[in-house]
Amino acid sequence: MDLERYPWSSESSGMGHLVAYQRAEAALRLRHPELSDRIEMHSPLSALPTMLSVRLPDDRRVLLWLTRFARPRDFYPFWLIVGPDDTGLPRMWDALTSPDVLADAVRERVRAFEEHRVEASPWRWDEPDRQTSIIRLADTLAESSFDVRLVVSGNRIRATQTADGVEAFPFREHEGDFVEFKVGHHSVRISRKKEIGWLADVHEPELDVQWRIDLHWLLDKEAGSFPGYADDDQVLGRLHHVIEPAIWDRPPKNVVNSPARKGDRPRMAADRDRSEPLSPQQAQQVTMRELLALGFTDVTTEADAESASLASETLYIASTARSRPLGLADVKQLYADASIAKKRLMVLLRTGGMTRPAAEFANRAGAFVFWADRRTGLLAPYNGLAREVAFSEV
């Protein structure tokens, strides 16, 4: 890797970095004593500070460096492990990664270079635990000749191309564990979320759209009503056999989504106000298409309603447009109404929001809560469950 390609910060916490390097070196010597006489502090370039290194043949090295990008992209410190043949974006680990994990990752990088092979799992994915479901799926996909590009589970920080350039990007908890791979010009993300289970999303950059594959139909031949799939064994055992044809099958037009970009800034309110608002009926149609795209497959428009409203066989959809926030009593009443109807609660907030106790109750009750823009009909996730369901940035 050409380290001069990237803007590195010149600032560091001297004593903090010294202690971190001492712990990493101690772990490397303890866990892999065969490397002890090859470990030293080294600076690969005069403009860079010294870092922990392991010597390789022909005066080459594997480097372990605690650093961060230069301003304005200096939000997050990280450990960087650099091998002599690295290409692509820098391979980084969270700054709080344990010294034992770093030591094993460095040792595997050394062994892979000396033995002229790819790194073993999970180190090839820059992850610490091979037994997690997403690592097992990534290994299966790679063994099946899929072009796996990114795996995120225990180590949640990566060098990522954003709208503003390359940044150290921490993936949030609601994105779950996930693997990204390429099929032709499509980018596919298979994720496992804490509450809703597995999702399979496809991004087609040529048309700049995303869509979601119904894993219930793909694996069980039964259409799902909600996004998310719970059967780990089916995903781990069969998905790699059936996913590719589903990616090449184009989705219906009403279940695609225009993706957000990593690093995009939200538009100012003044920009939104300059756009032409839709009629309530038109905005409701947009909201319905957004819900269909997310995987709420039985949402329809009420046929005989005088005002625009949404209906579902499985969801109790409550749309609110009052000036004050929904309180705990309001959400409990909506939940009771949904329970009587034997449906799952979904709340569409057009104004007002929710109080914190109300939002906490909605989370415990398994309700989906979204902002629904009155002018455009577009959705934005409001609570944790809605954030799990939302499409990821690309």
Average pLDDT value for residue range 148-159 = 97
Average pLDDT of 44-48? Answer: 74
Residue 269 confidence (pLDDT) above 60: no
* Residues linked to residue 55 through DSSP beta bridges, in sequence order: 61
- Residue at a domain's end among 263, 289, 322: 263
Bigger pLDDT: 257 or 29?
29
CA trace torsion 330, 336, 342, 343 (10° rounding): 20
Helix (H, G, I), strand (E, B) or coil at 253: helix
Alpha carbons 241 and 333: distance in angstroms, whole number: 45
The answer to whether residue 218 scores a pLDDT higher than 60 is: yes
* Mean pLDDT across 160-183: 91
pLDDT of 340 > 90? The answer is yes
Question: Does any domain span residue 394?
Answer: no
Residue 327 has pLDDT above 50, yes or no: yes
112/143 same-domain check = no
Average pLDDT for the chain = 89
Q: Which of residues 203 and 250 earns the better pLDDT score?
A: 203
Whether pLDDT at 281 is above 90: no
What backbone phi and psi angles, to 5 degrees, belong to 242?
Answer: -115, -5
Residue 337's domain comprises: 269-389
Looking at the structure, do residues 348 and 240 belong to the same domain, yes or no?
no
Is pLDDT above 80 for 10?
Answer: no
pLDDT band at residue 275, thresholds of 50, 70 and 90? low
- Work out the average pLDDT over 131-150: 97
What is the DSSP secondary structure assignment for residue 275, as one 8-state letter? S
Distances (CA, A) of 360 to 180, 342, 364, 387: 32, 21, 6, 14
- 44 and 76 share a domain? yes
Q: Are residues 318 and 370 in the same domain?
A: yes
Taking only the tens place, the pLDDT of each residue in 177-205 is: 999 999 999 999 999 999 999 999 999 98
Reported pTM = 0.90
Q: What is the mean pLDDT of residues 207-234?
A: 93
- Rounded Cα distance between 222 and 47, Å, is 60
The H-or-E segment that residue 177 falls in is strand 177-183
pLDDT of residue 289: 92
User: Is residue 163 domain-resident?
Assistant: yes
Share of the chain above pLDDT 70, in %: 93
Examine residue 82 and state whether it is found in any structural domain, yes or no.
yes
Q: Both 140 and 242 in a single domain?
A: yes
Domain boundary among 69, 92, 120: 120
Within this chain, do residues 131 and 251 fall inside the same structural domain, yes or no? yes
187 and 245 together in one domain: yes
My answer on whether 149 and 244 are in the same domain is yes
Listing DSSP states for 67-130 in one string gives E-BPTTS-S--EEEEE-TT--SS--EEETT--HHHHHHHHHHHHHHHHTTSPPPTTGGGT-S-T
Mean pLDDT of 55-64: 92
Tokens linked to 340: 């009587």
How many independent structural domains does the chain possess? Answer: 3
Sheet holding 315-320, edge to edge: 315-320, 344-349, 368-372, 379-381
Is residue 313 within 8 A of residue 225, CB to CB? The reply is: yes
On whether residue 204 sits in a domain, the answer given is: yes
Assign 13 a pLDDT band (cuts: 50, 70, 90). low
Q: Are residues 53 and 133 in the same domain?
A: no
Return the pLDDT at 33.
Answer: 97
Same domain flag for 356 and 248 = no
Same-domain status, 250 and 145: yes
Closest alpha carbon to 362 in 320, 333, 392? 333
- Let me know if residue 14 belongs to a domain: yes
Q: Which of 24-38, 204-218, 300-314, 322-336 is predicted least confidently? A: 300-314
**Is there a single domain that holds both residue 284 and residue 195?**
no
Give percent of the chain with pLDDT exceeding 90.
69
Report how far residue 189's alpha carbon sits from residue 391's, in angstroms, rounded to the nearest whole number.
10
Q: Which pLDDT score is estimated for 147?
A: 97
Is 304 buried (19+), middle (13-18) or exposed (0-12) by CB count in 10 A? exposed
Domain CATH number, residue 278: 3.40.1350
Lowest mean pLDDT among 35-39, 95-99, 250-254, 283-287: 250-254
Q: Quick check: is 111 in a domain?
A: yes
Could you tell me where the DSSP H helices lie in the chain?
14-31, 99-114, 133-143, 215-220, 232-248, 269-274, 280-294, 328-340, 356-364, 384-389
Q: State the DSSP H helix or E strand holding residue 343, giving kind and residue range, or none if neither.
A: none
Is the pLDDT confidence value at 94 over 60? yes
Cis peptide bond upstream of 251, omega within 30 = no
Identify the residue whose tokens are 């996004």: 227
The 8-class DSSP code of residue 350 comes to: S
Residues near 26 by beta carbon (within 8 Å), at least 6 away in sequence? 99
Q: Look at residues 120, 135, 162 and tell me which one is the last residue of a structural domain.
A: 120
Query: Per mean pLDDT, which range of 16-20, 166-170, 225-229, 362-366 is the poorest?
Result: 16-20
